[in-house]
Structure 1
Amino acid sequence: MQKRLDPESLVLATDPRPLALVIGAGFGGLAAAIRLGARGYRVQVLDRLDMPGGRASARHQGGFRFDLGPTIVTVPQVFEDLWRIAGRRMADDIELKPLDPFYTIHFPDGETFTARQDTEAMRAEVGRLSPNDVAGYERFLADAEKRYWFGFENLGRRPMHKLADLIKVLPTFGMLRADRSTYGHAAARVQDERLRMALSFHPLFIGGDPFHVTSMYVLVAHLEKAFGVHYAMGGAGALAEAMAGLVRHLGGELRLGVTVDEILTRDGRVRGVRLGDGEEILADTVVSNADAGHTYTHLLRRMPKRRWSPARLTRTRWSNGLFVWYFGTKGTRELWPDVGHHTILNGPRYRGLVKDIFIEGKLADDMSVYLHRPTVTDPSAAPKGGDAFYALVPVPHLGFDNPVDWAAMAEPYRLRLQDMLEQSVLPGLGAHVAESHVMTPEDFRTRYLSPHGAGFSIEPRILQSAWFRPHNVSEEVRGLYLVGAGSHPGAGLPGVISSAEVLDKLVPDPVPVA
C-alpha cells in the first residue's frame, strides 16, 4: 500500500526553503527553530518526548499539573524578542505574572530572608538581619550590575568560538575579579554568613558550586532587581507550547515521539540525521539542543573528535544532580498561609553540603530544599482547594566512583525530605498528600539523555565557560550548531534562550532550493 502524506507533510515536501533540523524541543531548540524559521529556513524539530519543552515539560497526574523543570522567568524580554521576530505579541499567547516576594529563605536558626524587587525593601531586610552589612549589600548590587552588562548583555549574547574573542575580554575578566567565586565575592561584601548564603546560592540553580563558580554569576542579583521574577501562567509547559505554536506559525514542523540516534556526516560536514527506526532525514544545517555531552559522545560516535573527544568529556566537570519530589495535596489551600510561591530551606551546613555534592559525590544526611508552590499564583495547577508542589534537592550526579543507588535510596530519601518539610514549613503534610512522583538523576539520564544524570549539563566554572564551553558552532563538523545549557552561554532560561540568539549570528542566510 502506498504511504499517504498528511497535508502538512505534503506542504513541507514541496517547500523550496532549505531544511534545518533541530534536535530537541527544549527551550533552546524551540528558540532556535523560531529564529531559523523567521530567517527563511524550513524547520523540523525532532524530539523523543510526546510534548515540547524538554526539561520544561509538564506532568499531569490525578488532576494536578507539575512543572518538571524551570519555574520562573527572570528576563522576559528574551522571550518577547522571539514573539517579535515571529510577527506576534507574547502577551496574546502567554501571561507572565510578576511575583512579590520572589522567594523566602529559611535559615537553621529560625530567621528568614525575603527577597523582593523593591530596593528599599531589600535594604530593610538586609538591615534587619545585619545592620552593619547594608553598605556592603549596596556595593554588591553595584557589582552585580557591572557583571550583568559585561557577562550577560555582552559575552552572553554574542559568539565566543574564537580564541581571539576570549583574549580581548581577559582584562575585563581580571578587573571584575572573575577568578573569585560567587561565595568569595559575597563574603568580600557582607559579614553575616546568612547573607553570604542568600547572595551566593544562585549558581546552584544552574548547576554550579557557589564556592568555585566564577563571581560573574552574581549578575543574577541584578537580573532579579531590574526585571523581576515572573511565573508563566499555566506553567513552563504552557510557555513551551506557546513557543511551539510560533514554530508552526512560521511554517515549521514538530515531530514528537521520535528519537534521533545519529548525526550523519560526510567529508567533515553534516548531511542530516538518522532516527532510531532507521529513517534518514537529509539536511545541510543541523542544530542540536541535546546535551552537548550526548551530542559528541553518542550522536557523533562514528567520527573522531579533535576537541570534544571521549577523553576530554571524561575530564569535564558536570553539574550537580537533582532529586525532585512532585506532590499534590488536597484541602490545603488555606492550611499553610505563610508558605509562598517559592521557599528555600537552608540546611545546617552550606559549604560542607556543597562539597559533598560537587566534590565528594556523597549523598549527605542533611539537605537544602527549594520548594515550589505554584498554586499560590496559579490555582489551575491543582483541583479546587488543593496545592501542587515540587521539592527540589541538589544531589551528586552519577559520574562519581561510587554513585548513589537511587533504586534503593529514592523512597528513603523522599521520606527524609517529607519529614524535613513537615518539621519546617508544612506541618501535617503526610496526611494531605494525594499524588506523588519522584525524579532522581537516573531519570534525568534516561528521560533527557543527560550524561551522569546531571541536572544542568557542564558545570559553569570559569574554565568551562565562554570560549572554554562547547561552541555554538561545532568545532568538530561543519553545518552543526549547538544550543542549550551545555553550550555558550550556559544554563538557566535566559542563557538557554540567548544561546539561540548567538546561533542566529552564526548560521548563514538560507539559499532557496532550486
Structure 2
Amino acid sequence: MEHDRNAPPASHAIVIGAGLGGLAAAMRLGARGWRVTVLDRLDCVGGRGSAIEVEGHRFDLGPTIVTVPQVFRELWAACGRDFDRDIELTSLDPFYELRWPDGSKFAARRDEGDMRAEIARLSPQDAKGYDRFLRDAEDRYSFGFEDLGRRPMHRFADLLKVLPTFVRLRADRSVVAHAKRRFRDPRLQMAFSFHPLFIGGDPFRVTSMYILVSHLERAFGVHYAKGGVVAIAQAMAQVIRDQGGTVRLDAEVDEITTEGNRATGVRLADGTHLPAAAVVSNADAGHTYDRLLRNRPRRRWTTRKLARSRWSMGLFVWYFGTKGTAGDWADVGHHTILNGPRYSGLVRDIFRRGKLAPDMSIYLHRPSITDPTVAPEGGDTFYALSPVPHLGGADPVDWETEAPRYRDAMAAELDKAIPGFRDRMTASHIMTPVDFRDRYLSPNGAGFSLEPRILQSAWFRPHNVSEELDGLWLVGAGTHPGAGLPGVISSAEVLDKLVPDAPQAAPRPGPQRMAAE
C-alpha cells in the first residue's frame, strides 16, 4: 500500500473534505504543530462554497454572504495571519429587500433608525415590538452563539448545565411563534422569522434561539467577499500550504480505517491507504457514519437512526448570466427575496409533506452589482434559489422530469422582478437536490445536513469528537454548532479545544487545552 510520505503518522492529521469547515480545521491543526493533509473528491476547494465558470460568468454555488467576519479574523489570527490582508469585504446596505405579491417591500438595514422607518412604513403599531425583538435577539446571541456555539457540547453534563437558560429563553418556542409575539403585521412576522431557511430549518419548528441572526446582522452587518466565498476558501487553502500542509484534490475518501476502537487513517477510492494519528471529517455527518464507517458497528449514529433523523430541505438553484444588462433593473440589488403567496403553507409542503408546490419563494442573488468581475463587461450574473423537498420522502420528486418545468415556473416569477431577462440570457446552470447528493455526498440531497431542531442541536447533534471512534473528530454543518458560515467556522474553533497538540510539537502559549475523551 502507498503511504503519505509528507509527515510521520505520529504528527500527521487527515482532514476529509475541503469545505470551509474542513479548511478551518486544517488551519487550526496546522497552527498546533500538526502536519495536515486535506483530501477532497472535487477538483476545487470550498465544498458548498465552491464556484464554477460558465461563458465568462463566475457562479458562487453556495453561500453568498459573510455575517460574522470576526470568526474569520480570529481564525486567521490563530495562524499568525491577517484576514483583511487576504480578503476584501464589502459591507452591504440594505442587506436584502423582501418583496410580497401585493407589491409591498421591506429593506433590511443595519441602522436602527432606517429599520424603524421601514417598520413604520409597513406597520407603525409594531415599532415597540421591534425594540423588544432586538433585545430578545441579543440575549439569544450572547448565549446561543458566543457561549453555546463556541464550546464543546459532547458531554451530557454540558447539556444539563445549559437547560435552565434554554427554559428561561423559551427555546421550546419556534422562531415564527416568537415573531408573532412581537409583530402584528404578517409581513413583519415573516421578515423576522425566515432566517432559519438559510441554514435548512423550518421556521415554524426550529427553536426561537435562531432569532439571534437578527442581532448578528445588526451588530456585524452583512458583507460580500470580493471574488465570492470561494476566494475565502482559496485563501484558507493557501494558509494551509504555507503551514507546510497539503491540499489534495480529486482524492475521494472511501473509508476511515481503524484498529481496535481507533481511527488510523483513510483509504481512498483508488485503494491508497493514508495513515494518520488524527482524522477530522468535514464530510456530512450522515455520510461519515453511514458510508465511511460502514464496516464498523455503531452505537449511536446507526443507519436506522440517521434514516429517522430530520434533514434540512433541498434546494433548486438556477445560475444564469445576462448580457448588456448592467444598467438595467435598477431597483434589484445584491440580495432580493421574492415571496410567494403563501408562507406557512409553502413551508409545510416542503418540510412536512415533501411535496413540490406549484408556488414558490425565491432568493435572488445579483453579485455583479457589487463585484463586476463575476460577469463579462456590461453583463450580470445571477442565481435564483428556491427551497424544495429533499429526496428522503415517501414520494421523492423526479427531478429529471420536473427540473425543466420548475425552471420555467421560476422564470415566470423572476420576470416580475427582472422583466425580459430570458431574452438577454447567456449562461445557464441548474442544481437540484440530486446534484447536492451526487456532488457533495449529502444524504437525501439535503442542502444543509441535519435540520437544526432543538432535539438535533447542541448535545443532540453529532458531536465534534466522535461518539463512535477514538481519534476521529467532526466539523461542518452536520455537527455542533450547525450550518451557515459562522457555524461551520466555529465548529473548527470547538475542534481546537478538543484535539491535543501534535505529539512532537511544543504546546503553544495560552490556556491549557482539553484533550478529547
Q: TM-score range by the shorter chain?
A: over 0.9
Superposition deviation, residue 510 in structure 1: 1.4
Residues in 1 aligned to 2:112 and 2:82: alpha-carbon distance in whole angstroms: 30
Superposition deviation, residue 83 in structure 1: 1.4
The answer to whether the Cα contact below 8 Å between 2:10 and 2:277 also exists between their aligned partners in 1 is no
Residues in 1 aligned to 2:78 and 2:10: alpha-carbon distance in whole angstroms: 18
The answer to whether the Cα contact below 8 Å between 1:102 and 1:116 also exists between their aligned partners in 2 is yes
AA of the residue aligned to 1:476: E
* Counterpart position of 1:500: 492
* Counterpart position of 1:474: 466
The answer to whether the Cα contact below 8 Å between 2:50 and 2:62 also exists between their aligned partners in 1 is yes
* Counterpart position of 2:380: 387
Residues in 1 aligned to 2:10 and 2:274: alpha-carbon distance in whole angstroms: 15
Per the alignment, do residues 377 and 236 of structure 1 end up closer, same or farther by CA in structure 2, a change over 3 Å counting?
A: same
Residues in 2 aligned to 1:377 and 1:165: alpha-carbon distance in whole angstroms: 43
Residues in 1 aligned to 2:243 and 2:306: alpha-carbon distance in whole angstroms: 36
* Counterpart position of 1:436: 428
Match of 1:146 among 131, 139, 146: 139
* Counterpart position of 1:271: 264
SS at 2:192's partner residue?
helix
* Counterpart position of 1:284: 277
AA of the residue aligned to 2:369: V
Match of 2:449 among 444, 451, 457: 457
2:53 paired with 1:60: yes
Match of 1:121 among 107, 111, 114: 114
* Counterpart position of 1:207: 200
Match of 2:437 among 416, 421, 445: 445
The answer to whether the Cα contact below 8 Å between 2:49 and 2:229 also exists between their aligned partners in 1 is yes
SS at 1:411's partner residue?
helix
Per the alignment, do residues 16 and 477 of structure 1 end up closer, same or farther by CA in structure 2, a change over 3 Å counting?
A: closer
Match of 1:178 among 171, 196, 221: 171
The answer to whether the Cα contact below 8 Å between 1:17 and 1:40 also exists between their aligned partners in 2 is no
Residues in 1 aligned to 2:154 and 2:191: alpha-carbon distance in whole angstroms: 34
Superposition deviation, residue 266 in structure 1: 1.3
Superposition deviation, residue 104 in structure 1: 0.2
The answer to whether the Cα contact below 8 Å between 2:200 and 2:312 also exists between their aligned partners in 1 is yes
Residues in 2 aligned to 1:227 and 1:288: alpha-carbon distance in whole angstroms: 29
AA of the residue aligned to 1:113: F
SS at 1:243's partner residue?
helix
Q: Which runs of 5+ in 1 are unaligned?
A: none
Match of 1:18 among 1, 4, 11: 11
Match of 2:392 among 376, 393, 399: 399
Superposition deviation, residue 399 in structure 1: 0.1
The answer to whether the Cα contact below 8 Å between 1:17 and 1:42 also exists between their aligned partners in 2 is no
SS at 1:392's partner residue?
strand
Residues in 2 aligned to 1:430 and 1:282: alpha-carbon distance in whole angstroms: 52
Residues in 2 aligned to 1:508 and 1:88: alpha-carbon distance in whole angstroms: 22
AA of the residue aligned to 1:289: N
* Counterpart position of 2:475: 483
* Counterpart position of 2:504: 512
Residues in 1 aligned to 2:490 and 2:165: alpha-carbon distance in whole angstroms: 21
AA of the residue aligned to 1:76: P
2:419 paired with 1:427: yes
Residues in 2 aligned to 1:138 and 1:505: alpha-carbon distance in whole angstroms: 36
* Counterpart position of 2:209: 216
Superposition deviation, residue 249 in structure 1: 1.2
Superposition deviation, residue 314 in structure 1: 1.0
Match of 2:312 among 300, 319, 323: 319
AA of the residue aligned to 2:44: M
The answer to whether the Cα contact below 8 Å between 2:9 and 2:276 also exists between their aligned partners in 1 is no
2:104 paired with 1:111: yes
Match of 1:198 among 191, 194, 198: 191
Match of 1:348 among 318, 338, 341: 341
Residues in 2 aligned to 1:144 and 1:244: alpha-carbon distance in whole angstroms: 34
Residues in 1 aligned to 2:76 and 2:91: alpha-carbon distance in whole angstroms: 19
The answer to whether the Cα contact below 8 Å between 1:49 and 1:256 also exists between their aligned partners in 2 is yes
The answer to whether the Cα contact below 8 Å between 2:10 and 2:276 also exists between their aligned partners in 1 is no
In the superposition, the TM-score normalised over structure 2's length comes to 0.96
Q: Which runs of 5+ in 2 are unaligned?
A: 506-517
Residues in 2 aligned to 1:171 and 1:385: alpha-carbon distance in whole angstroms: 56
* Counterpart position of 2:128: 135
Superposition deviation, residue 17 in structure 1: 6.8
Superposition deviation, residue 509 in structure 1: 1.8
The answer to whether the Cα contact below 8 Å between 1:55 and 1:70 also exists between their aligned partners in 2 is yes
AA of the residue aligned to 1:439: M
SS at 2:426's partner residue?
strand
The answer to whether the Cα contact below 8 Å between 1:56 and 1:240 also exists between their aligned partners in 2 is yes
Superposition deviation, residue 85 in structure 1: 1.5
Deviations 1:66-94 (A, max 9, x none): 00000000000100112112211112111
SS at 2:247's partner residue?
strand
* Counterpart position of 1:307: 300
Superposition deviation, residue 45 in structure 1: 0.1
The answer to whether the Cα contact below 8 Å between 2:9 and 2:277 also exists between their aligned partners in 1 is no
Superposition deviation, residue 16 in structure 1: 8.6
Superposed counterparts of 1:411-422, under 5 Å? 411-422=404-415
* Counterpart position of 2:512: none
Residues in 2 aligned to 1:450 and 1:264: alpha-carbon distance in whole angstroms: 21
What's the % identity of the aligned pairs?
67
Superposition deviation, residue 429 in structure 1: 1.1
SS at 1:200's partner residue?
coil
Residues in 2 aligned to 1:55 and 1:313: alpha-carbon distance in whole angstroms: 21
Residues in 2 aligned to 1:17 and 1:45: alpha-carbon distance in whole angstroms: 17
Superposition CA RMSD, Å: 1.2
Superposition deviation, residue 335 in structure 1: 1.1
Superposition deviation, residue 28 in structure 1: 0.2
AA of the residue aligned to 2:35: R
Superposed counterparts of 1:254-265, under 5 Å? 254-265=247-258
